[in-house]
Structure 1
């Protein structure tokens, strides 16, 4: 990593970098219970509307109409650790996470084209996230101040705690068409529409030794809110190598996002800190993705599928000023292309369905060297892996029962990730300060505090479906 990129990482609000990847580029979406139990692995199997999230050619595999709705119950737990202390925080959410359907149209002709099918899928998930890091009074920042008598004094601000707090919802709507050619090759295409409604906070608690006061400080340009919409397109194909082996491939274009953003800009008015509210729009392009899939179906009772997804490009903002240039520099120097492997299987015992799956997604960032505080308060350059976001492991399990026209499925997912969580750093230039602000003064340090975060998500799903 270059020195300039290390500077940009600390000059920017880390939450913007995290959300660019975690929300706008690589968020796993909720499918049906079957989809979730198999960790989203269905790229060469297909058969229902959730295929639109992996390989739209799976729509062409369907030979009967299908519609389902899924109730999702999400538990999101963050444990942030620093200097021997830890803070846990749990978020629980329940909503209708997925609705999808397929309509099949059998072609009554002598042509080898057997079916033309259409499908729709809508997924909704909470992106609420709260990371509270413990304080460490050995970390202190010196600040030149003026006392009530007009004398110049030096105060020391001890670090007592920090929180990233995000609220919001993400939606994805897919609509597509699939075709069956001679029951051997399947083609598909889809249009994907995305939406995000989000608020982000970044706050630190600091204690001043001059009067023993404790004050909450907000990061420059926070809180901010974003209402965003985006679109992408997908193309896919599945081919039967034999009656038992299927191979699939799909490609998804970048998602082109339009982001309407409102934020606070703090400044020193001479007699205290003030802020103005500003609005702006941004244009963001997420990475293009390709997925290769293989499925083995030895009989009607068992199927196993493997998907491998690779990012082909990097995230990028349209440059409208220094902020977008800095963000692009971070992605150019630090971002690793998405790499994810998913394995899912289903076993049938008459009307009973047993399912399981596993997914591994690599960290989206290279190891990064930044200036940071140790637990004893000293400052040095340190290298961190799993920086900002870490590897993600997903384990899924599920059960279902087919009543004929109706079916019911249930699933459980455990998703874990561990990463290094930097905060507090900022820079001060002429008329430019990316530090933290209270109502009285700003605090700026070029060094980060870095906590360890373990994120665990325990998700439960219940699907009701109807075949027609």
Structure 2
């Protein structure tokens, strides 16, 4: 399907689509160092507060109380290549990534119900992301005043966070069957800009242009619920299943706009409601002995993102996701080996591309336009993650550390913006407009290197 001019005129910019999927439809999955070392795979193992990130039934597996805190250091690097040149930019950030606690209540009765446990988990994830793309002197824009400029560079700049606070209860029936339920509360903060720079051909001076309806800021809060079960097929095998409802987001959005016939250049705000996808997870675990455990999780999105319609922008967004969004598919594999007090862990995760192939008109390196170019990785793409970890158990206290490497490659569209029904969707500088009916498309490699350290206490 071709991306229509009307869509981007009303939906504001590409980053709205990216954030809908990358931020609001992807819950933060930062757990303890153990959880992260095993690639977030614990759906059939459970045993701690991070179960609330995958399968709340895992709370019922715990037989002792526990509290932990995790520090995270994230390094996010984007390298954007365009017209034979590349820019790389790295963001490093330290933060409190996770806090978790479980309280166990052993039922001293003759009933087959052994434990009722309560868990609380807080997960926080930085969403800072900066993509700067080099220019192309062959891309020339001629202004109405007879001056001309060449494209110098472009930048998407996003910063903020998304957090998830979960509370849940898990029950143990006869040490063979576990049930759990959780409530999840989300908060998000996004500030984003979309800027292009052009250089004058006459004197070389640079002029900055902001995309219509940017910079923008969004503050959101959301709610979801989850249910899960885990069953032991034998002492060595477990199966699990969990369901998380859509997250119901309320988003307050503010943005700058330019050259309005009535208001000129000004600032506006609006409220949006978004329903993120319903997700189901199935899990399997093999516990060879007290020394080795292996877990596999598979998560599938069952619905698509959907905005409540207040006007044309939400209608166009919903049409886009209806026609082009692919339901989430994610595989996680994690393992742990225990050698006396030492813990060795590793994992791998794969998440599929969220979009079908998209077709756009794009600028070529010589400044021409190639029509109908199809991309299978436009805006976002699939993601691979490898992780390793090490821990040491002091009986009552423990310390864990882990490292993650997450990679993704995608194509990055920008510069598009035309006049549609008297709506100017281009890039603005004082008294000037860059209007374009084609995209510049760069190739972006994203590499995230994440480090985690957890301190925990069992009681």
How many Å apart are 1:366 and its aligned residue?
1.0
Stretch of structure 1 that moved more, 53-62 or 156-165: 156-165
Q: Residue 387 in 1 paired to residue 378 in 2?
A: yes
Q: Is the 8 A contact 2:304 2:327 kept in 1?
A: yes
Q: Residue 122 in 1 paired to residue 122 in 2?
A: yes
SS at match of 1:299: coil
Q: Is the 8 A contact 2:284 2:296 kept in 1?
A: yes
Q: Is the 8 A contact 1:60 1:180 kept in 2?
A: yes
SS at match of 1:344: strand
SS at match of 1:64: coil
How many Å separate the matches in 2 of 1:216 and 1:274?
Answer: 18
Q: Which residue does the alignment assign to 1:241? A: 233
Which blocks of at least 5 consecutive residues in structure 1 are unaligned? 147-152
Change (3 A) 1:108 1:419: same
Q: Residue 192 in 1 paired to residue 195 in 2?
A: no
Q: Is the 8 A contact 1:368 1:385 kept in 2?
A: yes
Q: Is the 8 A contact 2:406 2:448 kept in 1?
A: yes
Q: Which residue does the alignment assign to 1:150? A: none
Q: Residue 464 in 1 paired to residue 455 in 2?
A: yes
How many Å separate the matches in 2 of 1:26 and 1:123?
Answer: 13
Q: Which residue does the alignment assign to 1:312? A: 302
How many Å separate the matches in 2 of 1:213 and 1:269?
Answer: 29
Q: Which residue does the alignment assign to 1:34? A: 34
Q: Is the 8 A contact 1:5 1:329 kept in 2?
A: no
Q: Is the 8 A contact 1:6 1:369 kept in 2?
A: no
How many Å separate the matches in 2 of 1:292 and 1:10?
Answer: 40
Deviations 1:339-377 (A, max 9, x none): 000000000001110000000001111111001101111
Q: Residue 340 in 1 paired to residue 298 in 2?
A: no
How many Å separate the matches in 2 of 1:96 and 1:223?
Answer: 28
How many Å apart are 1:385 and its aligned residue?
1.4
How many Å separate the matches in 1 of 2:267 and 2:60?
Answer: 50
Which blocks of at least 5 consecutive residues in structure 2 are unaligned? none
Deviations 1:403-433 (A, max 9, x none): 1100000000000011000001012123311
Name the TM-score, length of structure 2 as normaliser: 0.97
The aligned runs of 1:221-260 (5 Å cut-off) are 221-260=213-252
Q: Is the 8 A contact 2:3 2:358 kept in 1?
A: no
Q: Which residue does the alignment assign to 2:134? A: 134
How many Å separate the matches in 2 of 1:74 and 1:4?
Answer: 34
Deviations 1:182-209 (A, max 9, x none): 1111000000000001100000001243
How many Å apart are 1:127 and its aligned residue?
0.9
SS at match of 1:282: strand
Q: Which residue does the alignment assign to 1:8? A: 7
Q: Is the 8 A contact 2:60 2:180 kept in 1?
A: yes
Q: Which residue does the alignment assign to 1:421? A: 412
Q: Residue 412 in 1 paired to residue 412 in 2?
A: no
How many Å apart are 1:7 and its aligned residue?
5.3
Q: Is the 8 A contact 1:10 1:446 kept in 2?
A: no
**The one of 437, 451, 460 aligned to 2:442:** 451
**The one of 430, 452, 455 aligned to 2:421:** 430
Q: Residue 325 in 1 paired to residue 315 in 2?
A: yes
Q: Which residue does the alignment assign to 2:113? A: 113
Q: Is the 8 A contact 2:9 2:424 kept in 1?
A: no
How many Å separate the matches in 1 of 2:294 and 2:406?
Answer: 21
Q: Which residue does the alignment assign to 1:149? A: none
Stretch of structure 1 that moved more, 179-188 or 321-330: 321-330
How many Å apart are 1:11 and its aligned residue?
6.0
Q: Which residue does the alignment assign to 1:275? A: 265
Change (3 A) 1:236 1:421: same
Deviations 1:244-302 (A, max 9, x none): 000000010000000011101111679xx941111110001110100000000011110
Q: Residue 220 in 1 paired to residue 212 in 2?
A: yes
Name the TM-score, length of structure 1 as normaliser: 0.95
Q: Is the 8 A contact 1:8 1:329 kept in 2?
A: no
How many Å separate the matches in 1 of 2:92 and 2:346?
Answer: 24
Superposed structure 1 runs of 4+ greater than 6 Å apart: none
RMSD: 1.6
**The one of 285, 288, 302 aligned to 1:298:** 288
Deviations 1:128-179 (A, max 9, x none): 1100001011122343x24xxxxxx4x4332110000011011110000000
How many Å apart are 1:50 and its aligned residue?
0.3
SS at match of 1:328: helix
